[in-house]
Amino acid sequence: MSSELRRAADQLRRASRVTVLTGAGVSAASGVHFRVEELATLEAFARDPRLVWEWYEWRRHLVAACRPNRAHHVLAAWSRLYPRFTLITQNVDGLHERAGTRNAVQFHGSLWDLRCAESCAGSPERWRDETVPFPSLPPCCPHCGGLARPGVVWFGEPIEPAVMERAVAGLECDVCVVVGTSAVVYPAAGLADEAQRRGAFTIEINPEPTEATRRFDLAIVGRAEEVLEKLQIGDRLI
């Protein structure tokens, strides 16, 4: 075992409060690869809601066939192992949830949630719909009959206050692990820094160094599923 892995394992063994921030690199081994810059905006949806929904329908179809990989399962085991565990994911694929992770904060929402595009007063504000494919596109709000939109955070949109509150609460931790994300897009990029300011030992796990690497207490170069598997045996840390 490398010295970096030994240091990480030592910190994780001694911790009782652990927070993990995950990005696209965690789902890569499950076959989830998407670039979302062009259509994941409110402006794109306003221009052509059907086109945006066709793209999300395609994503939902692909993700429905994917399965959680070893990284998801290791983190799910951590969520049962630690007295206080928070997982903050930037991914919208729902694979952490399917792996059984407890206390997962979906920072950017979920592909499987919908909400009213007109922000009507219907309740619940969000609803789960795992139908693939939809009977018709674009789907409608069940409350007002208007247009529904994906329950995700698009570029330029703020994080919902309740979601941000849960994420910030998780920063009171002993160890903060950032996995599979370059951590350069705010506000998610600032979470590990804030955890560090609050006294957490911070660990980065990525296939290659990032712009943020130098800010971490420890950086491990490797694929998420490979590194996490080396830190976990069953429901125990090595």
Kindly state the tokens that stand for 93.
Answer: 């694929």
CA distance 215 to 234: 31
Strands 109-116 and 218-221: unpaired
Comparing C-alpha atoms, which of 8, 189, 11 is closest to residue 88?
189
Cβ(203)–Cβ(178) under 8 Å?
A: yes
Angstrom CA distances, 164 to 102, 145, 157, 168, 171, stand at 17, 30, 13, 6, 11
CA distance 71 to 22: 10
Cβ(191)–Cβ(171) under 8 Å?
A: yes
What's the sign of the alpha-carbon dihedral 175, 78, 190, 166?
A: negative
Catalytic status, residue 108: yes
Q: Which of 72, 73, 96, 108 is catalytic?
A: 108
38, burial (CB in 10 Å: exposed 0-12, middle 13-18, buried 19+): exposed
Give the active site residues.
108
